[in-house]
């Protein structure tokens, strides 16, 4: 098969596997590598120190560090549900889960489909093919590659937008030791963000330091998923009811508003239950270790550890202003994790539960938690004046 025929086969087979977009890029495409290094040097990666590891940097500079025989990279996009999974069932306040995490774990789904694509290429060529499927846990500049392969363009919020599809999709890559013709990138003269800055202005935590520059340290997705420590008290009110991830900069994007509703996004990424995107934070605080494990099993939410999720649940309850959350938060004040206890104290302070906090201060020995209780009591008292 000629390189052009290989590309034609790859794209056709990718669509048969359910991918909504597919393209081919050269293996040595890394146009934003220097910008990536600057972003790291400026500290905008927050506590994600693994991004600066030598093997991570080497692979992002040259994909052949991941697969030395690779000649081609196939880039695919798999759309998830634009609507659904946020039905409010039951009484009490509800949290919010990002749309991509409401169904099966996209890492598993993408990896399996990419492996099937690799098998199909090998069968078509009649020989063994060296391949490596990559999802976002692999050190790949995937939006850079997706733009080069013609799937879309990088927007001001650093998300990839595919015209006609929007940005509600996940990306995957397949490295192959096969010669294939690169697909053309999107015409530079086609409509892009223009003067629009809706995504930048809508971010409640001010995570954008300008167009195309995201500071992860203030990004709700980073704070609720990647960051494992204490969330700055000044940022907590802006997080709102977010339990895992954030879609705000996508929700306001005109490209998503204009994209046709997809009646059939990938069925495995569809919300597992009607209320998967609106969990009960108080109920999460009451789950035992095994119960929480079962709740997260098979979903992308497994990325966040137990203490992080309960920390996030406390913040969500503190932001609701609903006094019915107080008993659950009072229980969280006795949690084994200082991180959870400290954020529960903040939430109780937001709800004005000064007596509960004062009583907890008498038995609390951890310096961090005591500082949270003291600050929360003082702020609650000030608001009550």
Cβ 105 vs Cβ 302: under 8 Å: yes
209 inside domain: yes
CATH code, domain with 18: 3.40.109
Together in a domain, 158 and 208: no
* Residues 161 and 226 reside in one and the same domain: no
**Alpha-carbon dihedral sign for residues 264, 103, 159, 157:** positive
Residues 211 and 156 in one domain: no
Q: Give the span between the Cα atoms of 54 and 36, in whole angstroms.
A: 14
Q: Is 189 inside any structural domain?
A: no
- Beta pairing partners, 170: 78
Domain end marker among 113, 141, 176? 176
43, two tokens: 């500290």
Q: Is residue 188 part of a domain?
A: no
User: What is the block-wise mean pLDDT of the chain (385 residues), using blocks of 10 residues?
Assistant: 96 96 90 93 96 94 91 96 82 92 96 97 95 92 95 96 93 97 84 92 97 97 97 98 97 87 77 91 94 94 96 97 96 97 98 96 96 96 82
For residue 91, being part of any structural domain is answered with no
In terms of domains, do 257 and 154 share one? Answer: no
User: Cβ-count burial of 208 within 10 angstroms (0-12 exposed, 13-18 middle, 19+ buried)?
Assistant: buried
**Same domain as 212, residue 149:** no
Same-domain status, 16 and 150: yes
The answer to whether the Cα torsion of 131, 133, 138, 139 is positive or negative is: positive
145 and 10 inside one domain: yes
Q: Is 321 exposed, middle or buried (0-12, 13-18, 19+ CB in 10 A)?
A: exposed
Reduced to 3 states (helix: H, G, I; strand: E, B; else coil), residue 224 is helix
- The C-alpha atoms of residue 268 and residue 272 are separated, in whole angstroms, by 8
Residue 258 lies in a domain: yes
| Shared domain check, 220 and 124 | no
* Residues 151 and 259 placed together within one structural domain of the fold: no
Query: For residue 19, is it within any domain?
Result: yes
Q: Mark whether 254 and 156 lie in a shared domain.
A: no
Q: Is residue 100 part of a domain?
A: no
Beta bridge partners of 214: 208
Q: Are 265 and 303 in contact (CB under 8 A)?
A: no
**Predicted pLDDT of residue 324:** 95
Q: Can you give the residue range of the structural domain that contains 202?
A: 198-384
Q: Which tokens is 259 given?
A: 């994209």
Cα-Cα end-to-end distance for the chain:
78
Residue 145 and residue 213 in one domain: no
User: Across the chain, how many H-helices and E-strands are there?
Assistant: 17, 10
- Tell me which of 62, 136, 177, 322 is the catalytic residue: 136
Q: What is d(CA 80, CA 167) in angstroms, rounded to the nearest whole number?
A: 10
Name 133's bridge partners.
174
- Taking the model in full, what pTM does it have? 0.93
Q: Which of 176, 210, 239 is the last residue of a domain?
A: 176
| Secondary structure (3-state) at 273 | coil
For residue 77, the cross-strand partners are 21, 171
As given in the structure block, the two tokens for residue 195 are 């003067």
pLDDT, residue 87, reads 83
Q: Which of 144, 176, 208 is the last residue of a domain?
A: 176
Give CA–CA dist 84/299, Å, rounded.
Answer: 16
Spatial separation of the C-alpha atoms in residues 113 and 214, rounded to whole Å = 30
Q: Is 247 noted as a catalytic residue in this protein?
A: no
Domain count for the chain: 2
Q: What does the pLDDT read at residue 263?
A: 46
Do 151 and 211 lie in one domain? The reply is: no
Contact 323, 351 (CB under 8 A): yes
Position 267 in a domain: yes
């Amino acid at each position: 098969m000629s390189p052009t025929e290989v590309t034609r086969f790859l794209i056709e087979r990718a669509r048969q596997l359910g991918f909504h977009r597919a393209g081919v890029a050269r293996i040595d495409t890394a146009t934003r590598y220097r910008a990536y290094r600057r972003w790291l040097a400026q500290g905008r990666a927050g506590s994600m120190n693994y991004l600066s590891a030598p093997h991570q940097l080497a692979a992002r500079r040259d994909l052949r560090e991941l697969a030395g025989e690779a000649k081609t990279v196939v880039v695919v996009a798999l759309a998830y549900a634009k609507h659904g999974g946020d039905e409010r069932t039951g009484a009490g306040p509800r949290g919010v889960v990002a749309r991509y995490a409401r169904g099966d774990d996209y890492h598993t789904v993408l990896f399996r489909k990419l492996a099937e694509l690799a098998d199909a290429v090998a069968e078509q060529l009649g020989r063994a093919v060296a391949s490596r499927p990559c999802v976002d846990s692999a050190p790949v500049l995937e939006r850079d590659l997706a733009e080069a392969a013609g799937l879309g363009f990088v927007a001001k919020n650093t998300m990839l937008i595919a015209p006609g599809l929007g940005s509600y999709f996940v990306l995957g890559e397949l490295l192959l030791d096969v010669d294939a013709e690169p697909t053309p990138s999107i015409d530079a003269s086609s409509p892009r963000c223009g003067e629009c800055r809706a995504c930048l202005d809508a971010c409640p935590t001010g995570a954008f330091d300008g167009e195309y520059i995201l500071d992860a340290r203030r990004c709700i997705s980073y704070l609720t998923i990647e960051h494992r420590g204490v969330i700055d008290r000044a940022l907590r009110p802006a997080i709102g009811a977010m339990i895992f991830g954030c879609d705000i900069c996508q929700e306001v994007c005109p490209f998503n508003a204009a994209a046709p509703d997809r009646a059939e996004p990938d069925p495995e990424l569809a919300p597992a239950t009607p209320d998967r995107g609106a969990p009960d934070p108080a109920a999460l605080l009451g789950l035992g270790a095994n119960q929480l494990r079962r709740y997260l099993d098979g979903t992308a939410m497994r990325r966040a550890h137990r203490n992080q999720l309960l920390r996030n649940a406390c913040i969500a309850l503190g932001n609701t202003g609903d006094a019915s959350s107080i008993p659950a938060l009072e229980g969280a004040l006795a949690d084994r994790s200082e991180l959870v206890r400290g954020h529960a104290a903040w939430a109780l302070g937001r709800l004005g539960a000064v007596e509960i906090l004062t009583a907890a201060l008498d038995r609390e020995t951890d310096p961090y938690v005591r500082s949270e209780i003291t600050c929360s009591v003082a702020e609650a008292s000030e608001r009550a004046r």
